[in-house]
Amino acid sequence: MPALEEVACHVHKECYTTMLEARNDSGVRTWKRFLKSKKFMQAGLARPMYEPLLYSPLSTLRQSRADELSLFMDQAHYMYQNKRNQMTFEQYTYVTQLLFHHAPANVLIWGLGQDSNLWSTINRHGRTAFLENHEVWLNKMKENLPDAESHLYNYKLQFSNNVSNSERHMKKLLAEDKQAQHDDLYQKLPADLEDVKWDVILVDSPAYAKETRMESIWNSKRLKDNLLQHPGHIVHILVHDCERTIERMFSDEFLGRDPQSYTVVEGHRISDHESQMRHYMFRSVDNTYQDELKALRAKLQKSNL
What is the pLDDT, as a whole number, of residue 66? 74
- The residue with greater pLDDT, 256 or 176, is 256
Q: How many CB atoms lie within 10 A of CB 256?
A: 16
In this predicted structure, the answer to whether residue 10 has a pLDDT above a threshold of 50 is no
Contacts with 51 (C-beta within 8 Å, 6 or more apart), sequence order: 9, 10, 12, 45, 263
- Give 144-168 pLDDT, tens digit per residue: 889 999 999 988 876 655 566 667 7
pLDDT at 24: 54
Peptide bond connecting 57 to the previous residue in cis, omega within 30 degrees of 0: no
Q: What is the pLDDT of residues 291-304, one digit of tens each?
A: 665 676 676 666 65
Average pLDDT over residues 43-67: 49
Overall pTM > 0.85: no
Task: Work out the average pLDDT over 184-189.
Answer: 87
Q: What is the mean pLDDT of residues 221-243?
A: 92
Residue 3 zone, left/alpha/beta (φ > 0; ψ -120 to 50; rest):
beta
Question: Is the Cα dihedral 45, 49, 53, 56 positive or negative?
Answer: negative
Whole-angstrom distance, CA of residue 168 vs CA of residue 156? 17
